[in-house]
Amino acid sequence: MIVVEHLTKKYGDVTAVRDLSFTVDKGKIWGLLGPNGSGKTTTMRVLTGFLSASEGRAAVGGFDVFERPDEVKKIIGYLPENVPFYPEMTVAGYLGFVAEIKQVPGPRRKEAVARAIESCGLESVGRRLIRNISRGFKQRLGLAQALIHDPQVLVLDEPTIGLDPAQIVEIRQLIKSLRRERTIMLSTHILQEVSQTCDGVAIISEGRLVVSSSLAELASSFGGREGVVLKVRRGAREAAASLRRIRGVNKVEHEGNEVRLEWEKGLDPREEILGIVSAKDLGLLEMRSAAPSVEDLYLKVISGGTIQ
């Protein structure tokens, strides 16, 4: 449903997105995950036709974004990072206006507004001015305006940013309830958001794609392995060398006074490890199990970037 091929976007000398390619199948919720400034918003702006690309191709619903922008705009609902409001309008008035410019035919407009208000839980604020409603309602209103023309594809840029934890849970549930036949792409810099809402994830860093795959695939590619992290008082470096000789252990890394080990699932050399630790008198402080996960991958990606 969403196809991005070798997309590059430059702002003058700054390259925001570099040779990005991924696809999202129909009916999936895909997370675009990356630290702030990694090119998520730029990617979404290109997909929605707000920005042009410097190179590459993007298509939504079979329509090329650059050649048939109007067709694409008709089937996309877009929630920008800064939710676009006219503060002097009422909630219902604003949705009516959005329905008009999204080409909802006149007779169906009233119904579309009512449906959007209902599905986003805005009944209590329908007649209030937008400037007077709370942050949480504004974010819901942002979703409502994206939904108004019943689009096949939803592009949501940081839909939960700036909300309190209870509101975050609400919005995530709302997004899941919106899925039905829709393809949804949402951007976030929070990993949990992806694991709780999405079917798949495209991780990007500094404008480049790190990985794009379904969560199930990602889990199985890491699932065949187990590991522990040891925290020792001294001698982490020497310990790493002798721990590497244990049969089945295929990865040993040490950093400061921590040693991370991984092995093939089912071998469980933990007793041997402990034997070496006590024989070498390393002063074991902590031993915790640490299966390699998407989180590690993501943390590696964003180290150096900012994260909440």
Partner 1 sequence: MRNLWSITKRELTAFFVSPIAYIVVAVFLFLGGSFFYGRVQIYELYTRQMMSYGYGQPPNVNQELILYFFSFSLLVLIFVVPLLTMRLFSEEKKTGTEELLLTSPLSVTQIVGGKFLATLVLYVVILLFSVLIVLFGFLFGNPEFLPVLSGFIGLLLVGAAFISVGMLFSSLTENQVVAAVLSIGTLLLLYFIYYETYFSTGIVKAVIGAVSFTPRFENMIQGNMDTADLAYFLSFTFFGLFLTQAVIQSRRWR
Asked whether 300 and 205 are in contact (CB, 8 A), the reply is no
Q: How far apart are the first and last CA of the chain?
A: 31
Q: Please, what is the minimum distance in Å from the beta carbon of residue 97 to partner 1?
A: 5
Span 142-201, contacts to partner 1 by CB under 8 A? 145
292: left (phi over 0), alpha (psi -120 to 50) or beta: beta
CA distance linking residue 190 with residue 194, whole number of Å: 7
Query: Is 89 a binder of partner 1 (CB under 8 A)?
Result: yes
Q: Choose which of 18, 28, 40, 73 interacts with partner 1 (CB under 8 A).
A: 73
Stretch touching partner 1 by CB under 8 A, among 78-86, 119-127, 234-242, 274-282: 78-86
Q: Please, what is the minimum distance in Å from the beta carbon of residue 131 to partner 1?
A: 11
- Total binding residues toward partner 1, as defined by CB under 8 A: 30
Q: Choose which of 34, 56, 80, 207 interacts with partner 1 (CB under 8 A).
A: 80
Query: Is 52 a binder of partner 1 (CB under 8 A)?
Result: yes
Q: Count other C-beta atoms under 10 Å from residue 275's C-beta.
A: 12
CA distance linking residue 228 with residue 272, whole number of Å: 13
Stretch touching partner 1 by CB under 8 A, among 17-25, 101-109, 268-276, 289-297: 101-109
Tokens, residue 15: 């390259």
| CB closer to partner 1, 103 vs 124 | 103
Query: Is 103 a binder of partner 1 (CB under 8 A)?
Result: yes
Query: Is 101 a binder of partner 1 (CB under 8 A)?
Result: yes
Query: Is 55 a binder of partner 1 (CB under 8 A)?
Result: no
Tokens, residue 201: 């994830």
CA distance linking residue 156 with residue 257, whole number of Å: 42
Amino acid at 215: L
Asked whether 89 and 39 are in contact (CB, 8 A), the reply is no
Query: Is 134 a binder of partner 1 (CB under 8 A)?
Result: no
What 3-state class would DSSP assign to 156? strand
| CB closer to partner 1, 93 vs 136 | 93
CA distance linking residue 222 with residue 201, whole number of Å: 15
Binding footprint of partner 1 on the chain (CB under 8 A): 11, 45, 48-52, 70, 73-74, 76, 78, 80-89, 93, 97-98, 100-103, 145
